[in-house]
């Protein structure tokens, strides 16, 4: 209950409260989503929103920043410790802004970046022609190995030697395997160019010790804070000390104005949470859950890109089931299972339709679901797709979804 919004703005309150019900009563399998703690929410919804603090701790363009300096310093020190980084900038408003600032720090417009395309698991901000990245920089791409659907570092090296990029980027939105930081670092250093990692999806797995750290192999690392890391919407940039000044300048004044101090405080809370022993258990469970989900889906005849997962996500090729990604997303939403359609490598469908769905376990792991629940969810997904034209079975599945949700209450402290 938000009593003040409730009494002042019932129209808005009603939509907010319906969204809470939706989150409570659906199985959230969108790989980039999570449920933040009430502590993180408290920081986000606080009076820190009121302050302007352009600049950095000790060097602000506004007065009255002594407490904001303490808050930002806490966030910086925690981020550095969590990821074993020499430098941290905690101001980026979002992952795309963090990538914009990182490119700006490392390159001049028009210079060349080696990355992977969106349909192969990359992100819009890794060179898509409809994004600032593709408009301002010259991108060349390596692909996944056609057989294994994994990154082949030898092929990346070949493309890098041929194309001579000014920056090599290792980062993915839909790659279910470990990111090869060490090999990318070696290739970049052989070419004497910086190596950047975008760990937006797997930051929580790195912090929790179930995925290798990009340092010391990479020079600059960007991440969102709201996916596996389970913090507020936002991002950070970590780097080696020699890039620190350039990164800070590229964030402010290069690409942003005043920082969102309330979000920086919320990032600090989330980093402290990620330092607790329980977060290590959480990260382990995310991966165990993803593996259990993957194994059961394969038993049901689904084809998984790369044949499984090492991380929090599973990329399902739906072609053997004769349904598109868009159709599957819509039909699963009907039974309150929340997923997103996703391109698969070499997808014959357009991005609006796709042949795949991407599933992830961070959010449901936060709710306390375990491997046996994941197997049950795989059964429900399979049943939904098989019986997609049978409304009676679909409504029965929806009841089963609600029963499972009830066993794992979300935000019981919020009435």
Ligand X SMILES: Cc1ncc(COP(=O)(O)O)c(C=O)c1O
Please state the closest distance from residue 116 (CB atom) to ligand X, in A. 10
H and E: helices and strands count for the chain: 16, 15
Rounded Cα–Cα distance for residues 362 and 342 (Å): 18
Smaller CB distance to ligand X: residue 224 or 354? 224
| Rg, C-alpha atoms of the chain | 22
Sign of the torsion formed by the C-alpha atoms of 224, 230, 234 and 238: negative
C-alpha closest to that of 322 among 253, 254, 369, 389: 389
Rounded Cα–Cα distance for residues 140 and 165 (Å): 8
> In which element (H, E) is residue 224 found?
strand 220-224
Smaller CB distance to ligand X: residue 65 or 223? 223
The correct pick among 166, 198, 273, 329 for binding ligand X (CB under 6 A) is 198
- Per-residue binder mask for ligand X (CB under 6 A), 47-86, x = binder: ----------------------------------------
Could you tell me how many residues of this chain bind ligand X (CB under 6 A)?
14
Please state the closest distance from residue 199 (CB atom) to ligand X, in A. 8
Check residue 262 for interaction with ligand X (CB under 6 A).
Answer: no
* 3-state secondary structure string across 247-292: HHHHHHHHHCCCCCHHHHHHHHHHHHHHCCHHHHHHHHHHHHHHHH
Rounded Cα–Cα distance for residues 234 and 113 (Å): 24
Please state the closest distance from residue 8 (CB atom) to ligand X, in A. 30
Check residue 224 for interaction with ligand X (CB under 6 A).
Answer: yes
Rounded Cα–Cα distance for residues 358 and 160 (Å): 29
* 266's tokens: 């919320």
Q: Tell me the window of 153-161, 197-205, 261-269, 378-386 that interacts with ligand X (CB under 6 A).
A: 197-205
Check residue 173 for interaction with ligand X (CB under 6 A).
Answer: yes
- Per-residue binder mask for ligand X (CB under 6 A), 101-140, x = binder: ----------------------x-x---------------
Check residue 96 for interaction with ligand X (CB under 6 A).
Answer: yes
User: With contact defined as beta carbons under 8 Å apart, do 232 and 219 qualify?
Assistant: no
- Per-residue binder mask for ligand X (CB under 6 A), 21-40, x = binder: -----------x--------
Check residue 94 for interaction with ligand X (CB under 6 A).
Answer: yes
Smaller CB distance to ligand X: residue 171 or 194? 171
User: With contact defined as beta carbons under 8 Å apart, do 114 and 142 qualify?
Assistant: yes
Q: Tell me the window of 145-153, 193-201, 244-252, 351-359 that interacts with ligand X (CB under 6 A).
A: 193-201
Please state the closest distance from residue 6 (CB atom) to ligand X, in A. 29
Please state the closest distance from residue 123 (CB atom) to ligand X, in A. 4
Smaller CB distance to ligand X: residue 95 or 325? 95
* 138's tokens: 């010259």
Q: Which residues contact 366 (CB under 8 A, 6 or more apart)?
A: 34, 35, 230, 282
The correct pick among 51, 60, 201, 398 for binding ligand X (CB under 6 A) is 201
User: With contact defined as beta carbons under 8 Å apart, do 4 and 13 qualify?
Assistant: no
Sign of the torsion formed by the C-alpha atoms of 222, 248, 220 and 255: positive
Check residue 225 for interaction with ligand X (CB under 6 A).
Answer: no
Smaller CB distance to ligand X: residue 88 or 200? 200
Rounded Cα–Cα distance for residues 213 and 203 (Å): 9
Q: Tell me the window of 91-99, 181-189, 345-353, 387-395 that interacts with ligand X (CB under 6 A).
A: 91-99
Residues of this chain that bind ligand X (CB under 6 A): 32, 94-96, 123, 125, 171-173, 198, 200-201, 224, 235
């Amino acid at each position: 209950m938000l009593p003040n919004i409730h009494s002042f703005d019932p129209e808005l309150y009603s939509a907010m409260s319906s969204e809470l019900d939706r989150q409570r009563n659906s199985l959230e399998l969108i790989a980039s989503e999570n449920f933040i703690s009430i502590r993180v929410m408290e920081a986000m919804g606080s009076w820190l929103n009121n302050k302007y603090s352009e600049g950095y701790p000790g060097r602000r363009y506004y007065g009255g920043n002594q407490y904001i300096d303490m808050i930002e310093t806490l966030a910086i020190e925690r981020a550095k410790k969590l990821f074993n980084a020499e430098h941290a900038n905690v101001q980026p408003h979002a992952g795309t802004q963090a990538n914009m600032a990182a490119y700006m720090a490392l390159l001049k417009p028009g210079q060349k970046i080696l990355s992977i395309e969106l349909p192969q698991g990359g992100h819009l901000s890794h060179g898509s022609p409809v994004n600032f990245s593709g408009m301002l920089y010259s991108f060349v791409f390596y692909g996944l190995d056609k057989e294994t659907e994994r990154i082949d570092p030898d092929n990346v090296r070949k493309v890098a030697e041929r194309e001579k990029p000014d920056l090599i980027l290792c980062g993915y939105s839909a790659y279910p395997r470990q990111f090869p930081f060490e090999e990318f670092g070696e290739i970049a250093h052989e070419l004497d160019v910086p190596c950047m990692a975008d760990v937006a999806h797997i930051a929580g797995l790195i912090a929790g010790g179930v995925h290798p750290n990009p340092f010391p192999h990479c020079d600059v690392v960007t991440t969102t804070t709201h996916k596996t890391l389970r913090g507020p919407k936002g991002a950070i940039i970590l780097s080696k000390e020699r890039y620190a000044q350039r990164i800070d300048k590229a964030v402010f004044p290069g690409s942003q104005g005043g920082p969102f101090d309330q979000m920086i405080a919320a990032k600090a809370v989330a980093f402290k949470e990620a330092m607790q022993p329980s977060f290590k258990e959480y990260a382990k469970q995310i991966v165990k859950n993803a593996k259990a989900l993957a194994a059961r889906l394969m038993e049901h005849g689904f084809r998984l890109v790369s044949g499984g997962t090492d991380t929090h996500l599973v990329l399902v090729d739906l072609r053997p089931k004769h349904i598109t990604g868009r159709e599957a997303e819509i039909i699963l939403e009907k039974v309150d299972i929340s997923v997103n359609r996703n391109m698969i490598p070499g997808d014959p469908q357009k991005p609006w339709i796709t042949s795949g769905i991407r599933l992830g376990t961070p959010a449901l792991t936060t709710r306390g679901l375990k491997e046996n629940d994941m197997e049950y969810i795989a059964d429900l997904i399979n049943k939904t797709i098989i019986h997609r034209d049978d409304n009676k079975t679909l409504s029965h599945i929806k009841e089963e979804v609600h029963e499972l949700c009830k066993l794992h209450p979300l935000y019981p402290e919020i009435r």
